[in-house]
Amino acid sequence: MRAQCIFGVTLPPHPNPLPPGERVGVCEYRTRLSKDYFLYRAILEQIRQAVRDLPAQLNVASLTPDVIKSMAEEFGTRTEFGSCNYVSGVKTLSTALTVYLGSDRVELGNYTQKKRDIKKSAPQTIKAVHEYIKKAPLVQVDCTMGDQSDFTPRCSFFVSTYRRDSIRLAHLVIQTLFQSQGDEPADLTVVFIPEWQEKERQVLVFPEIGVTYVLGTDYYGEAKNAFLRMAMWRAKECGMLGLHAGTKILKARAADGGIRKLGMMMFGIAATGKTTHSCHNHDLTAPGEGVEIVQDDVVFWRQDGSALGSEKAFYIKTEGLNPESQPLLYGAAVQDSAILENVMLDYDGGVFFEDRTLTANGHGLVQRDAIGAYCSDSVNLPPVDELDRLILAFMIRSYTVVPVVSKLTPEQAAVAFMLSESIDATGSDPQTPGTPTRGISASPFVIGEASEECNRFYDLIKAHGDRIECYMLNTGGVGEMVEHGLDGARRVLRKVTRVQIPEMAAVIRGIARNTIKWREDPHWMVETPEYVEGLDISKFELDTHYDQHKIDATVAAIRLERADYAAHLSGLYPTIKTAAEF
């Protein structure tokens, strides 16, 4: 069989050629060779070569962080706090326009029509990108993800400054990742072209070679997610598991008077309070107690139970940020070192975090050391054997019958993990029909089979036995009553009894101190609290909000939804599927 040549690239023979002497029609022949095989190999080689050539091109500038910061601030607005606020044209992730390209492990075929169109046009788009990046002015930034560990991928970011204000994206990358270590070639590369035609906006991800092309958007969240997504794939290939979770260390006084050192990982989509509670002290203020905040977004979980950090800054949502409910985050966001994005300012630089005029998806990039004494020395959570316990907390926001806190088995925890991801990780985009809107299949970070992630998560929990404790925390509340009109309009008949931030802090404090009294829940197959110090748990009892028929019907509907989701994940362990109706 002769070598194939596509786009000027010579390819090796297909690994599964026809048996000698066998003759078939052209269509059948192409099908048997896997129609995308040669094109895929050619494109990957083109991309490798294109990004390999970029640093030496005359149109690519490598500038110092100080120069980049100075250039970026020309396009920002100075706030009353001395920080800069930037406004982007696109204010959400382009998840519905993000396509993973590669082998069968990457491309699972569950694409919307729009994504199928993007994939079909990908060879032509990539060719156009490669021509463009030979001409457009580009700025190169080299950084490292992670610190003081054996997993620190080298990251190169190339951004087009054809629109001069796009230099802010390079500034934000520098402020998020760690300083580059050495001159070795990049493990992960992002090419970012904000001025690409709006009608052709898309994100092309090639995880197997560590490259992402971001086209037609100037939203910083795309750059951040591009690196984290590829790093999570790389971590999986190295035997770890990338997790969208915040991490912290708690020191809490137990009933016997001793101090327990606990690791904590918090999972949750946007608006569930993951970052709020990751960056909260839970009033652990007794002698010897304390909190060390480690990470707030993505970590890499190893077999020994340690979780390696990824970034040196926190990318926090600013909507509703205030000093009363979120003192640590607010204090960090109003420092002059913070970088605000799409936050409403007045004519004189006054900051209005609660104003949604521009977007409900405003953000602040704050350095870890801006939270002061609560900042941990390391971005890495230690192994389980260096802790008294590791606590896994799954944050959800429900308003009807889900308990405020539930104690989970490992199997139930795997189900909670399966349901804990969403496109809302750092800002959602409008969904197109057929796009998953919840669960791990909708995660903007997970590449490949979602069941593989869930099974690996379950294996890691089981490997450490009772050293890992798992909980589901409902930061929403209970008791809401709604009705839906024929036009689909939602009308609230009775408002939810909300779980306030100090009340959830009391729950977490009780878990850390091991002072909660548990019971078998009368409605769910979990343990729920009978007593929590500092919290009137009785006001969240379902019996005080609904009659038994309403409770039974709503609980049954939620269980059915969970089971249905699990049933559609091919390859999921049977033990996890069985636990889905908890």
Q: How far apart are CA 312 and CA 65, in angstroms?
A: 15
Domain termination site, one of 178, 208, 237: 237
For residues 199 and 261, membership in a common domain is answered with no
Query: How many helices (H) and strands (E) would you count in the chain?
Result: 13, 31
Angle at 245 between CA 243 and CA 251, to 5 degrees: 125
Residue 364 in domain:
no
For residues 232 and 277, membership in a common domain is answered with no
For residues 233 and 99, membership in a common domain is answered with yes
Q: Which residue has the higher pLDDT, 462 or 110?
A: 462
pLDDT in tens, 499-551: 999 999 999 999 999 999 999 999 999 999 999 999 999 999 999 999 999 99
Q: How far apart are CA 235 and CA 229, in angstroms?
A: 10
For residues 157 and 51, membership in a common domain is answered with yes
Q: How far apart are CA 42 and CA 14, in angstroms?
A: 12
Closest among 394, 528, 374, 529 to 474, alpha carbons compared: 394
Six token digits for residue 79: 């706030």
Judged by average pLDDT, the poorest of 50-54, 165-169, 211-215, 274-278 is 274-278
Place of tokens 């999921």: 572
Judged against a pLDDT cut of 80, whether residue 163 lies above it is answered with yes
Question: Residue 115 sits in a domain of what CATH number?
Answer: 3.40.449.10
Do 404 and 537 form a contact (C-beta atoms < 8 A)?
yes
For residues 222 and 265, membership in a common domain is answered with no
- The pLDDT, as a whole number, for residue 37 is 63
For residues 423 and 489, membership in a common domain is answered with yes
Q: How far apart are CA 482 and CA 225, in angstroms?
A: 35
- The pLDDT, as a whole number, for residue 325 is 79
| Type of residue numbered 258 | G
Residue 54 in domain:
yes
For residues 440 and 476, membership in a common domain is answered with yes
For 376, residues 6+ apart whose C-beta sits below 8 A from its C-beta are 248, 249, 292, 293, 294, 368
User: How many independent structural domains does the chain possess?
Assistant: 2
Residue 257 in domain:
yes
Residue 153: exposed, middle, or buried by beta-carbon count in 10 A (0-12, 13-18, 19+)? buried
Domain termination site, one of 237, 256, 279: 237
For residues 248 and 222, membership in a common domain is answered with no
What separation in angstroms does the CA of 567 have from each of 334, 417, 457, 561, 579?
Answer: 46, 15, 18, 10, 11
- The pLDDT, as a whole number, for residue 48 is 94
For residues 61 and 150, membership in a common domain is answered with yes
pLDDT in tens, 194-246: 999 999 999 999 999 999 999 999 999 999 999 999 999 999 999 999 999 99
Side-chain-facing half-sphere of 240: CA atoms under 13 Å: 21
Q: How far apart are CA 28 and CA 56, in angstroms?
A: 44
- The pLDDT, as a whole number, for residue 446 is 87
Residue 13 in domain:
no
DSSP conformational letter for 337: T
Closest among 528, 412, 431 to 478, alpha carbons compared: 528
Judged against a pLDDT cut of 50, whether residue 10 lies above it is answered with no
Q: How far apart are CA 511 and CA 282, in angstroms?
A: 11
Judged against a pLDDT cut of 50, whether residue 267 lies above it is answered with yes
Specify the 3-state DSSP secondary structure of 437: coil
Closest among 134, 189, 193 to 163, alpha carbons compared: 193
Pairing label, strands 188-193, 154-160: parallel
Residue 352 in domain:
no
Closest among 49, 51, 43 to 4, alpha carbons compared: 43
Residue 420 in domain:
yes
Specify the 3-state DSSP secondary structure of 352: strand
pLDDT in tens, 366-404: 999 999 999 999 999 999 999 999 999 999 999 999 999
> Where is 72: in which H helix or E strand?
helix 65-73
| Residues spanned by the domain of 216 | 47-76+92-237
Q: How far apart are CA 188 and CA 237, in angstroms?
A: 14
pLDDT in tens, 36-66: 567 777 889 999 999 999 999 999 999 999 9
Place of tokens 């999570």: 232
> Where is 4: in which H helix or E strand?
strand 4-6
| Type of residue numbered 45 | E
Judged by average pLDDT, the poorest of 173-177, 251-255, 516-520 is 251-255
For residues 155 and 230, membership in a common domain is answered with yes
For residues 174 and 262, membership in a common domain is answered with no
Judged against a pLDDT cut of 50, whether residue 14 lies above it is answered with no
Residue 459 in domain:
yes
Residue 176 in domain:
yes
For residues 109 and 248, membership in a common domain is answered with no
Q: How far apart are CA 396 and CA 404, in angstroms?
A: 10
